Structure 1
Amino acid sequence: MDKITDAKTEFRRRQWTQIIQDCQNSGMTVVGWCSQNNVNTKSYYYWLRKIRSLA
C-alpha cells in the first residue's frame, strides 16, 4: 500500500511541476493563467510552495 501512495505522490508532483512551468513560461499572470486553464489558484500556490521546498 505504501508503494502505491508513493507512486501517486510522485505522479502528482510531476504533474504539478509541469503545470507550474507552463504557467511561468506563458508570460501571463498566475491568476489569469489559472483562470484560463481551469486551475485553482490556491492549489497552484500550495504546490508551488511544496515543490520549492523539495528543491
Structure 2
Amino acid sequence: MRTGCEPTRFGNEAKTIIHGDALAELKKIPAESVDLIFADPPYNIGKILMV
C-alpha cells in the first residue's frame, strides 16, 4: 500500500468494503465471519520471476 494511504471501511453489518493493505486488513477480520474476499492485483510485487 502506498505511504500515507489509510485503510477505509464502507458498508454496514451485513456488507462491508475495506480499502487497505489486504494482508494487514485480513488479520483484523474474525475467523469464520466472511463469505467472500476479493483482493485486486498487483500480486507478487518485488519478486523476480524466471519464465
TM-score (norm 2): 0.27
The structure whose residues are more often strand, as a share, is 2
* Greater percentage in helix: 1
Q: Quick check: which has more Rg, 1 or 2?
A: 2
Q: Which has the higher contact order (CA 8 A, sep 6+)?
A: 1
